[in-house]
Structure formats: structure tokens, C-alpha cells
A and B are shown apart, each in its own frame.
Chain A
Amino acid sequence: MPFEATVVVNRSTMQDLGWLNSYQGLAVPFLATAFGTFLVRQVFLTLPKELREAARMDGLGHLGFLREVAVPLARPTLGALALFGFLSTWNQYLWPTSVSTEDDWNTVQSGLRALSLAELDKPNLVIAGTVIVAMPIFVILLVFQRQLVRGLTAGAVKG
């Protein structure tokens, strides 16, 4: 289901919750994704059964195992997922624009559009702005490239 197909309904939900112009309005719809669910599931599947049994011997229940053992072990993947989430939401325009009506809540992409509208005759400024906006993504990709690939491929092959 493309996100654009549900944007109107999602926006009115945010409005009913009173979440326009708020961090939760900007972030919550992207916390749960099908990609993230399957990525983490695959990692959990790779955990050896013995770990589970050992945890039960130590008196941990289902949620206790998840909290104390499974999630800490999946940390590299969760880190990669967080990075991946950042990379894909940083570039968003439609959603942040539709849930924010105040300057304080405008995201960097709205700012970029405002800049390109405002400085029609100064393409150099607009290009400089675009480069600055793209910088965080470049830096993160360069620094964390290895972790990102490792995290995303963890669980790709069931071991």
C-alpha cells in the first residue's frame, strides 16, 4: 500500500488526536513498518533455541526473554533499522508538510522548497542549500556503511 494512498485518512487521524504540529505526529506513522517487522523477525529466527531454553531455566518468561536476551542480541539490526528509517524519513516532503502548519514544525525539505521558491534568481543559493540538506545523509552513509549493510543482511540467511 503506497503511503500516498492513505495520506488523507492518516492526516485526519492526526488531527483528531490533536497531533498536528508535534513530534509524535511527524514520527509515529513511521515507527511500525512492514520492512522493519520482517527484518527483525528474520533476526529473531536466527537466535539458537538453546538461548531460549537457558533463559527459561533462569526464570525468564516470554516478554522477559524478549527484553533481556532477544532485543539486546538484535541490537546491530535495530541500529541499522533506525539508520534506514532516518534515511528514508529525512527525505520526506508530503507527510511533514501536511501535518505541520507552523514554521516551528517545518522540516528541512519544506525549507528547501521555500528556499527554491524564494531565491528564483539565485540558483547557487538553492544548490548550496540542497547540498547542506544532503550532507547528513552522506556523512551517515559513509561512516556507518559497513554497519548498515551488516545489520540489514543479518538474518538474510537463516543459519
Chain B
Amino acid sequence: MSALRLRITMPALAVCLGLAACGSGQSILQAGNEPPPPTTAAPSTLPGQTTVPTLPPTTLPRPIDSLPGCDVEALDIAAAGGPVEIVFWHGLSNELKRELERITDEYNSSQDRVRVRLEAQGTYEDNIDKYLQSNTDNRPDLVQLPEYAVQLMIDTESSVPVQACMEDAGYAAAELLPAALTAYASESVQWAMPFNVSNPVLYYNRKVFRDAGLDDDKPPLTLAEVSAYGQQIQQTGAASYGISLDSAPDGGGGWFLEQWLAKEGELYSDNDNGRSAPSTRVLFDGPTSVALLTELQQVVTTGGGVYVGENPGGQDHLLKLADATTPAAMTISTSAALGPVLKFVEGGIIPGIGVEDIGIGPMPSPNGAPGALIGGASLWITAGHGDAKAAAAWEFITHLVSAAVQSQWAAATGYVPVNSGALALDPLQSVYADDPRFRVAYDQVAQAPDDPTFAGPVIGPLREVRVTAAAAVGKILSGGDPATALADAAALATDLIASYNATRPSN
């Protein structure tokens, strides 16, 4: 999709943000604009706001009215007496962490209203666990959490939905990627602000493709093509295997299954993937899933593919491409790995593979449908720390998702920018122009249809559900019967959801 076409479709998509809300003809943002708050400046005077038509007032109570509110003006008052300090927990490491530190330092020294103190908690998992274990006093003012923690966070009843701040500030969300926002919206509430977005892409070895007589500018789009390519690669002896597949919960086993079902237009769990009401059961044991995993099994049995196991370190599938004796030619992995992979290859550790040999294509699927679900993490504001802290956290969020910062962030890390304005700004503009490999993940997000299936599932115990799904995929890839494995996993997952829902706070 060209940048121009994107720009045109963006406001139209932005109007239809919330899935449930769209069904009733009313989007989250529209809902947020009426009735206009009488005390604050009229939001309609702000740029971007005019793209959202105002609906006639409705008497229906909105879900957000019962949630903690946001008073952005509290910061003006508090900042008069000195900067407001907020604590921000994140789960990034590596160059991602360093880049976030750089952006934060720049922000802290650029103004006198907010001081952000970064605290790295290790991984996303550490971040979730520490947040859940802490009481209000010990929680940070702002926390970064991954896409599978949405329902878990909603049920802690401990956050100020960013929608409350958007409405209070009259914030124009028109430039933010609708798909990224939708991923963190549920039951007509925009809970969190997407910050770092990634999705699975195909990594392939261009040199092997050329050796096998394949066009290295045309990566396979469907699973049938993956099989055909794999057979050709094996027959010509260009490499030992076609694609390498894993069954990690956050990779080939759990996350990719969610992606593939979305690409097939199927729901992963009931109640519109848990977005109109909490999910009560999973739907990944249907005929589409069985057909999908049967085809994936055939990729391994007859399509030259190789199954590399549960991949606990998250690198086995990628390292298979660099295997000295029996290498594979392709794999599917998160786009967030592209930066590290290129850096790794650049170091010259792998003989025979250079930076230019790494090819990136869209994630292959049974029918080659474009688009991908949002992965990565979002920013949540903690409630109960006072209006000034919440407002300060909100102000920092608006800085992080601004076009200028997203341009730097995406260019430095390889994440998809959540702000479409970032594409027109350097450094990202030149990175995308110089190296189209970084653009593939962005295009997948931009091509995702505005449909409940493409918002991905929100399930309280999604972490655990992914583990059961991953175990099933592992069984299937090592030769098990797809229908049985999926049915067993679905029954287990539905039990997990039932016991989670029984202890939900609203019950």
C-alpha cells in the first residue's frame, strides 16, 4: 500500500475504532466527543477533531463513565510548583532499552513539567508479575505491557483508560494507526496507548533462493507456495530444509495461530474475540483451524520444512537458517527481531550470510491474505496516584507517540510506528526508502482489515491459553493428529478461561 493511499484511508478507519462500538454505529472516539465537556475548551476547535462527526446526544451510560477519570489540567497546577515526577516500568532490554532511555532523557531535559524515571523490570513477564503483585503505592505511574495482558490489566481495575485522557485533552488520534489502537480497546473503552508494535514476518535467505533457481524478490505468500519453494530448495540441494517452524507460545505455537486465524477471517475466542464481552471459550478447534494445521503439518512432512521444537530461547527457528550442517532457508519470526538479526549478521559471526542476504516478506498464510495482528506492547496509566501524576503520564505518552518520536523510535528499533505522520519524517522516511525490509511489518498493519477478527483475542488467561495452543501445535508438527490435538487444547483452554472468569472482580 502506498503512503498516499494510507493517508486517505486513515481518517476513515479512525472513525470506526472500537469494534463493538462500530457495530452499533458509534465509535469510541465519537462517543468520546459527545456531549462536549462544558468546562474545558471546545474540542471541536482542535486540529484533527473535525474529522470526527458529532453524534446527537444519547442517554445511554457509557462504560468509561464508571472508570477512573483523567484531569489533564491537574498537571498545569502541579507543575507550577516544580516538575511532577513519574515512574515508568518497562520490559525492554538491549538497544531497545538504550533507545528508550535516550528518548526519555531528551524529554526530561526539554521541559520543566514532567520528570520521567525509567525502571527496567527485565522482561514483559517480569513487568506483568511485579505489577500484579504490587499494591497501589508500589505500582509505577506508567507501565508498559504486552498485547496478551489486556484483559488481565482490565481486571486489575487499577488503570486510568487513556480514552479518559484523550477526551479530557481533546486529543486528536487521527494520525495513530487505527489497528494499533483497536488492539488495546475492549468493551468500547480505549484502555492503553500502543507504543511499540511488531508482527510476524517471513525471514528468508536470498542466496539460497537464488541457488535453488527461485526469484529472491518473490517470497512465498501462501502455505502451498512455502511447500513448493521448500521442495525446490531441497531438490536442488540449495539448503537442507525449506522453512523452519517452532511451537513457542509467543511464536509459532501460540501467537502465529492467532495471526493465521485472523488471516482466515476466523475468531479465536467467542464474544468477538472477547472485545464485546469477556471471552468464555476458545474457537481454535474449528474446521478452519484443523485444515490450517493439517496444511502446516504437510509443510513439514512433504514441503521441505523442519520443526525445531518449542524454541524456549526464542531463537532456535532463526538460528536454523545459520545452521552449519543442515540449514533451513526460511522462517517466520517477529519483525522486532529484524534489527538484532541484521546486527548479528553484520558482526560476521555466520560465515556465508551477509546483511544483504536476509530477505523479509509478509507472513505466509493458507490463502495469502495480507494483514497481521498487532504484537508488541502498550502504555497503561495507573489509577490512584492522583490527577497530577496521571496527567503527567498522559503528557509523556503523547510525547512518545508523536510523529517525531515515533519516527526516531521506529528507525532505531525496527518497530512499526504507531503514528502515520512518522512516515513523512526523517529518520524513518529515509530508513524505509533505503531498506524496504523494515517497511514490511508496517504494511502488514496498514493492510489489516477493520474487522473484529483482526483485533486479536483479549482473554484473561491468554498467556496460559497460548501455552496450551502451543503444545497442540507442537504435537501436530511432530506428527500428531490435528483435530484431536486442537480439540484437547481447546477444552483445556476453555477450562482455564472458565476458572479465570469465576474469579473476575466483577463476578
Q: Which residues of A does B touch, CB under 8 Å?
A: 8, 11-12, 15, 20, 97-98, 101-103, 110, 113-114, 117-118, 120-121
Contacts and interface: CB of A to CB of B under 8 A. Distances in A.
B57 interface: no
7 contacts: A15-B134, A114-B120, A117-B94, A117-B123, A118-B93, A121-B340, A121-B349
Given A110-B122, A117-B122, A120-B340, A101 B97 contact: no
A118 B121 CA distance: 13
B344 A121 contact: yes
Interface in B89-141: 89, 93-94, 97, 119-123, 126, 130, 133-135, 138, 140
Contacts of B351: none
B207 to A, nearest CB: 21
Contacts of B347: 121
Contacts of A98: 130, 133
A15 B343 CA distance: 41
B94 A120 contact: yes
A103 B93 contact: no
Contacts of A103: 119-120
A121 to B, nearest CB: 5
Interface string B314-344: 0100000000000000000000000010011
Given A118-B93, A120-B94, 15 more contacts: A8-B133, A11-B133, A15-B138, A20-B134, A98-B133, A101-B89, A101-B119, A101-B134, A110-B122, A113-B122, A114-B93, A114-B122, A117-B122, A120-B344, A121-B344
The size bracket of the interface on B is: 20 to 34
Interface string B217-228: 000000000000
Q: Which 9 A-B pairs have the closest CB atoms?
A: A117-B93, A121-B344, A118-B94, A118-B93, A102-B119, A20-B138, A121-B347, A101-B130, A15-B138
Contacts of B122: 97, 110, 113-114, 117
Nearest to A104: B119
Nearest to B117: A102
Contacts of A121: 340, 343-344, 347, 349
A103 B121 CA distance: 8
Q: Which of B93, B134, B315 has the most CB of A within 10 A?
A: B93
A interface: dominant SS = helix
Nearest to B315: A120
Contacts of B133: 8, 11-12, 15, 98
Contacts of B121: 101
A20 B344 CA distance: 38
B340 A15 contact: no
Contacts of B130: 98, 101
A8 B134 CA distance: 11
A11 B97 CA distance: 27
B362 to A, nearest CB: 26
Contacts of B134: 15, 20, 101
Nearest to B95: A118
A142 to B, nearest CB: 33
Interface in B117-171: 119-123, 126, 130, 133-135, 138, 140
Contacts of B123: 117
B94 A15 contact: no
Nearest to A14: B138
A116 to B, nearest CB: 10
Contacts of A8: 133
Contacts of A15: 133-135, 138
Contacts of B93: 114, 117-118
Contacts of A120: 94, 315, 340, 344
A13 to B, nearest CB: 12
Nearest to A110: B122
A102 B119 CA distance: 6
A113 B121 CA distance: 11
A15 B135 CA distance: 8
Contacts of B126: 97
A98 B123 CA distance: 13
Nearest to A11: B133
A44 to B, nearest CB: 40
Q: Which of A8, A12, A102 has the most CB of B within 10 A?
A: A102
B492 to A, nearest CB: 25
A15 B139 CA distance: 11
Nearest to B346: A121
Contacts of B94: 117-118, 120
A72 B270 CA distance: 71
Interface in B343-360: 343-344, 347, 349
B89 A118 contact: no
A101 B138 CA distance: 9
Interface string B77-95: 0000000000001000110
A140 to B, nearest CB: 28
